[in-house]
Structure 1
Amino acid sequence: MTNITHDELARAVADAERAAALAGATVREMRGKDEEAEVGELLARIWGRTAENPVVPREFLRVLGKTGNYIGGAFLDGKLVGASLGVHSSPERLTLHSHIAGVLPETVGKSIGYALKLHQRAWSLERGIDVVEWTFDPLVSRNANFNIRKLGAFPLEYLENFYGAMADTINAGDLSDRLLVRWDLRDPQVAALAGGATPGPAPEGDVTVLLPDDIESLRVSDPAEAKRWRRAIRDELTGLFNDGAKVVGFERGVGYILQNASTEEKKTDED
């Protein structure tokens, strides 16, 4: 098990509690069949699913809870408005895979998702887990900004059509390409951001990959153009990743900032 110090853990818990307080929310672990079912119903509402076609089946939520996986909930005025699920990876990796997280549309922008992530961070560290990974749609600029700049997580891999066809109101009709990101919970930058530090200026890189301003609206107004963006970003990012480039930052209006493998090797030699 990772040797996480008492001070590290205490700071992580305090950071999570502060984030929840600033959001005006209560964030806690969800336990038992009734609360797990409530999480399933909330996720179905967020993703536009029905009880007959849930995002996460009630039976699987029961298994997650019984086997000690992460089920977190965020409340505003006693009402469940956000939730997150994470599953343990293989034992030797000491990694949690955060499968899904979401908040009700009317609460977007209130930092509830951020409070959920910091709760998940503290929960993981309490269990000796120092890495959390998850996937997100590489075309959604606000998610890229949140994951990379606000949390300090970085993409590892481009996953083409990862889930296959998805029958929900957010993803229907589009390919489910995803970026897999890694969140090193004990990294000094991650700890500083969790403690309230303002993200610094975007680093310099060798290549930038521009994103559409609002792919979610574009999918509705011009589906064909949205699909062109999907193919273009897939081709550009997979090509760069195959050449050894790494994402080192993100900036709204600029996009992903990548460093070529040759630049990374040069920096390593200089160090």
Structure 2
Amino acid sequence: MLQIKRLVEIEEIRATQLIEEQVWNMPVTPIHQTYTASKNGGMILGAYDNDELVGYQYSFPGFKNGKAYLCSHMLGVLPAYQKGGLGEKLKAAQKECALEMGYSLIVWTYDPLESVNAYLNLHKLKGIAASYLENHYGVMEDPLNKGIPTDRFLVEWWIRSDHIQSGQKNDEVHSYEPLIETELDKSQFPVFSTETELIIDEDVVLIPIPENFQQMKQQQPNLALEWRYKTRKWFQKLYLNDYVAVDVRRNSKEKVSYYEFRKRNSLALVGN
């Protein structure tokens, strides 16, 4: 039976390093850093299958413009548990702990072209991709990031807001055409076909991303780079015009997902 609890003892926290090694295959975060953060406004959550630690979430406090918030830095789940919704359960537990600690905002980054993470962060959790960070971490050599610029979305999760509590009914989004049209190549990867101009007063703007970016990187690295640079151009243009990404819509037939962008001032971000 899976159980999630807050980790407070140093040996409990040290056990998360084993998961970090398996998930990211790179040097682990020093225990003196994670332990100190957990004692000073941060938190570390552990997910257990009976007595075995199978996933964890690590956050530390941030501060900007006179306000404190929680930086959600790492969420790792062992491969055998990655498709059972454990990541979403860890985020739900993080939200409850953060509310108890007095936080209103949790932030984190993720690769905009990773469709599974996008669907979790924006559709299920109702975060917003609030800004675009070009090559945020510079050159990285781990398997997930090697060979491509480390562009990231910065997610804002306003955990006390009406946007989170009630969500939005956006069924009308299907009436909008995406700015970038795609088609499938011989290998069944989506490629670009046509583009249209951005009309900056549109209520909704749709941008596609590939269904399986990691597989594309391995089999067609040049196409993966094209997706990075093409979407970077459009994402940056949207943010310059005050749009933020608020949802993700899947289209398995076309092997893409669509980001739904809306004007930030149209969102109910009460509590920020």
- The TM-score with structure 1 as length reference comes to 0.79
Name the structure with the higher strand share. 2
Letter in 2 for 1:48: N
Letter in 1 for 2:77: V
Q: Deviations over 1:52-101 (max 9, x none)?
A: x22x1223123223324111111113211111111111273231010111
Matches within 5 A, 1:90-101: 90=63, 92-101=66-75
1:76 correspondence with 2:53: no
Q: Could you tell me whether the CA contact under 8 Å between 2:38 and 2:44 is conserved in 1?
A: yes
Structure 1 residue aligned with 2:224: 226
Q: Could you tell me whether the CA contact under 8 Å between 2:205 and 2:261 is conserved in 1?
A: yes
Displacement of 1:200? 5.2
Structure 2 residue aligned with 1:247: 245
Name the structure with the higher helix share. 1
Displacement of 1:207? 1.9
1:154 correspondence with 2:128: yes
Bigger mean CA offset, 146-155 vs 215-224: 215-224
What is the CA–CA distance in structure 1 between the aligned matches of 2:52 and 2:17, rounded to whole Å?
Answer: 14
- Percent sequence identity is 27
Structure 1 residue aligned with 2:58: 85
Which of 111, 128, 134 is the aligned partner of 1:137?
111
Could you say what secondary structure the match of 1:208 adopts?
strand
Q: Could you tell me whether the CA contact under 8 Å between 2:127 and 2:246 is conserved in 1?
A: no
Displacement of 1:240? 1.2
Matches within 5 A, 1:114-263: 114-191=88-165, 201-202=170-171, 204=173, 205-253=203-251, 254-259=257-262
Letter in 2 for 1:159: L
Q: Judging changes above 3 Å, is the alpha-carbon distance between structure 1 residues 200 and 217 closer, same or farther for their aligned structure 2 residues?
A: farther
Moved over 4 A (4+): 199-203
Could you say what secondary structure the match of 1:94 adopts?
strand
What is the CA–CA distance in structure 2 between the aligned matches of 1:30 and 1:214, rounded to whole Å?
Answer: 33
Q: Judging changes above 3 Å, is the alpha-carbon distance between structure 1 residues 245 and 200 closer, same or farther for their aligned structure 2 residues?
A: closer
Could you say what secondary structure the match of 2:138 adopts?
coil
1:47 correspondence with 2:24: yes
Q: Could you tell me whether the CA contact under 8 Å between 1:94 and 1:128 is conserved in 2?
A: no
Could you say what secondary structure the match of 1:89 adopts?
strand
What is the CA–CA distance in structure 1 between the aligned matches of 2:204 and 2:169, rounded to whole Å?
Answer: 18
RMSD (Å), alpha carbons: 2.2
Structure 2 residue aligned with 1:269: none
Q: Could you tell me whether the CA contact under 8 Å between 2:131 and 2:244 is conserved in 1?
A: no
